[in-house]
């Protein structure tokens, strides 16, 4: 068997694994967690776009660049924390925390983060 044949076999098995992963994600993941996942992906994409923009154009308003980039990263971290608290698979670890409290904590810390980012703009 040549190396290209093994590559084709591996790529086929990778596609099967990814397909199975996607199907399981679509069927087993609650809608609330999917929404949080989309928010996390959006935060990462905006941070990547800002980073690429700074590499290509420059960082002239440096405070604005830092505030925007770190706001995206912090929003992503807060989203991951919220996802962990709301995910039914990890609910055993967070039995004492009510869902509404988790969401309220996320909203409050996000508002505080955006207030700090706006005040950092100068």
pLDDT digits (tens, 9 = 90+) for 24-79: 999 999 999 999 999 999 999 999 999 999 999 988 888 888 999 999 999 999 99
What pLDDT does 5 receive?
58
Residue 48, in any domain of the structure: yes
Q: Which of 62-71, 93-102, 110-119 has the lowest mean pLDDT?
A: 93-102
pTM reported for the whole predicted model? 0.82
Q: State the residue range of the domain holding 74.
A: 31-120
pLDDT of residue 42: 98
Q: How many CB atoms lie within 10 A of CB 1?
A: 6
Is 80 a domain residue? yes
DSSP-H helix ranges across the chain: 3-28, 31-56, 62-86, 99-120
Average pLDDT of the chain is 89
Domain total of the chain: 1
pLDDT at 72: 97
The CA distance from 49 to 92, in Å, is: 37
* Segment 97-115 mean pLDDT: 95
Give the angle 51-39-22 at the CA atoms, nearest 5°. 105
Q: Is residue 14 part of a domain?
A: no
Is 11's pLDDT higher than 80?
Answer: no
Highest mean pLDDT among 29-33, 92-96, 106-110: 106-110
Q: Cβ neighbours of residue 30 under 8 Å, at least 6 residues apart? A: 88
- Residue 2 is assigned to a structural domain of this protein: no
Report yes or no on 6 lying in a domain. Answer: no
Give the C-alpha separation, 10 to 55, whole Å.
36
pLDDT value of position 58: 85
In terms of phi and psi (left: phi > 0; alpha: psi -120 to 50; beta: otherwise), the region of 58 is: left
């Amino acid at each position: 068997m040549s190396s290209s044949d093994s590559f084709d076999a591996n790529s086929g098995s990778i596609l099967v694994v990814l397909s199975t992963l996607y199907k399981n994600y679509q069927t087993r993941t609650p809608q609330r967690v999917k929404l949080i996942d989309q928010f996390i992906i959006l935060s990462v994409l905006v941070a990547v776009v800002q980073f690429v923009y700074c590499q290509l154009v420059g960082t002239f308003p440096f405070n604005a660049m830092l505030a925007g980039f770190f706001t995206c990263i912090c929003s992503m971290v807060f989203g991951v924390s919220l996802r962990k608290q709301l995910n039914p698979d990890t609910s055993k670890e967070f039995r004492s925390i009510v869902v509404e409290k988790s969401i309220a904590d996320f909203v409050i810390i996000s508002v505080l983060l955006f207030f700090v980012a706006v005040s950092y703009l100068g």
